[in-house]
Structure 1
Amino acid sequence: MDDGFRALQDWLAQTRDEPLEAMGAFFDARIGDYEAHMSPWRAHYAWMAALLPDGIETLLDVGCGTGLELDEIFARFPALHVTGVDLSGEMLAALRRKHPNRALTLWQADYFAQPFGDSRFDAAVSFETLHHFPAAQKARLFAKIRDSLRPGGVYLQCDYEAKTQQIEDLLFAECARRRARDGIAPDVFVHFDTPLTLEHEMQAMRDAGFARVELVGYLPEDDHTPMIRAVR
């Protein structure tokens, strides 16, 4: 048993009696310090922006939050038309305040249920939003993202992974235990991290029908937040 797994077990034991929070309410309540909390990923935002193809005009941002990745993306593509979807109205309002003059279409919605349209976007991104859901549910979302892209369109995802199958299994089991304890149905979104292994994440994208799925890599001193590129 490695130190990381033992530390995770200790943290789960310490927090085992904490109630689960609804996803949208969780982020609405933390709008004040959200961007400071996410500041360690500044280099990843810039990396994502740099990886987008030249000449794109339309972008889908899945789980856009306050638009931390969009700060960097707009710096490179100031005329970009962005459609963003997020559960949190507070997060979307903050995004709108930051970028009042950008071409933004914002949907406060469940991105699993919200229609994205067909062949509508040149590219799509998601950043640190999908580590709460099982592979089958992600595959259905990835299929919607794929369909929303124009032929040859690129989807970039940066999210943290479960480094081992043991970690993935432990977190899904603990989430299920807490749901049962709190009487929360499986289809209700709660804020509890259940990342997949890299292999399972990429397979879910392949199952969604992307023509090519590849690991771009990791930034130095970060071996758990991969950048993945999928091409329609």
Structure 2
Amino acid sequence: MDSIENKRIELEEMASFFDKRVDTYDEHMKNEVDGSDQYYIETAKYIPHCSNLKLLDLGCGTGLELKEIFKINPTVNVTGIDLSKKMLAKLKEKYEEKQEQISLINESYVDIEYGKEAYGAVVSVETLHHFAHQEKLKIYKKIYDSLIDGGVYVETDYVAKDQEYEDYFFNELKRIKEENKITEGFYHYDTPCTVENIIILMEKAGFKEAELKWREEGTAIIVAKK
């Protein structure tokens, strides 16, 4: 892997990063992410197909994953949480005919509570690769608590190919923050974890079963059951 050591990198605040890229986001995700021609379709397969399912979508962005989910389960009721106001506005415009089934929250899913046993399923697509292990564990615990018994969590995300790859990006983020004297705040930088570490964290959060279901290069789908 090529080192970016000694290169000056300016981190962007997370919400601002995505607000600035709202007009190009969909094309980027469809054309430049490993497995993008399939992972939205594959993700939808693991969402329960029961009538009037309550689904929590973390980091929902413009709702790219919802297109395939609505195809399989047209009655699903979605609560979407995202930091970017502009992304949520685009989602709302895109699914205007489904507005009665979609509730949007412009907040950080790290900070807010999701409720207790409120959802039959939770999904996150290409969003949790911005967090360290302890942050992920806290999120997984909230997801676990928000699910009904038998509920499922589907995570589709950028993953590290091995531990060396994972360590490299976490160390780089630490270096960049120190270089820029950043001590707090939420900034955009990719820190993917290995599938093995993700599953360990899910199990620590309480999930009785977590399993890799699909993978293409740097993108994986992991399904955890409560």
TM range (shorter): over 0.9
> Which residues of 2 match residues 139-150 of structure 1 at below 5 A?
139-150=137-148
- Matched residue, 2:198: 201
Distance of 1:31 and 1:88 partners within structure 2: 9
Distance of 1:71 and 1:65 partners within structure 2: 13
Distance of 1:36 and 1:225 partners within structure 2: 17
Deviation at 1:158, TM superposition (A): 0.7
- 1:42 corresponds to which of 32, 37, 53: 37
The answer to whether structure 1 residue 22 and structure 2 residue 20 are counterparts is no
Distance of 2:169 and 2:43 partners within structure 1: 27
Distance of 2:147 and 2:220 partners within structure 1: 22
Deviation at 1:100, TM superposition (A): 1.3
| 1:46-97 deviation digits (Å, cap 9, x = unpaired) | 1111222221511000100000001111122222110000100000000000
Deviation at 1:13, TM superposition (A): 4.6
> Which residues of 2 match residues 76-225 of structure 1 at below 5 A?
76-102=72-98, 103-185=101-183, 187-218=184-215, 222-225=216-219
Cα RMSD (Å) of the superposition?
A: 1.3
Deviation at 1:30, TM superposition (A): 0.3
Distance of 2:56 and 2:159 partners within structure 1: 22
Same amino acid, percent of matched pairs = 40
| 1:154-179 deviation digits (Å, cap 9, x = unpaired) | 10001111112111111111111111
Distance of 2:199 and 2:206 partners within structure 1: 11
The answer to whether structure 1 residue 64 and structure 2 residue 55 are counterparts is no
- 2:224 corresponds to which of 205, 211, 230: 230
Specify the code of the residue in structure 1 equivalent to 2:23. Answer: G
Gapped runs of 5+ residues in structure 2? none
| 1:75-122 deviation digits (Å, cap 9, x = unpaired) | 222221100001000000000000113211111111011110011111
Runs of 4+ aligned structure 1 residues displaced above 2 Å come to none
Specify the code of the residue in structure 2 equivalent to 1:228. Answer: I
Q: How many residues align structurally?
A: 219
Specify the code of the residue in structure 2 equivalent to 1:63. Answer: G
- Matched residue, 2:46: 51
Equivalent position SS for 2:96: coil
Specify the code of the residue in structure 1 equivalent to 2:50. Answer: G
Compute the TM-score of the two structures, normalised by the length of structure 1. 0.91
Gapped runs of 5+ residues in structure 1? none
Equivalent position SS for 2:222: strand
Deviation at 1:143, TM superposition (A): 0.6
Distance of 2:188 and 2:37 partners within structure 1: 22
Deviation at 1:224, TM superposition (A): 2.2
Equivalent position SS for 1:42: coil
Specify the code of the residue in structure 2 equivalent to 1:231. Answer: K
Specify the code of the residue in structure 1 equivalent to 2:153. Answer: Y
Distance of 1:163 and 1:58 partners within structure 2: 33
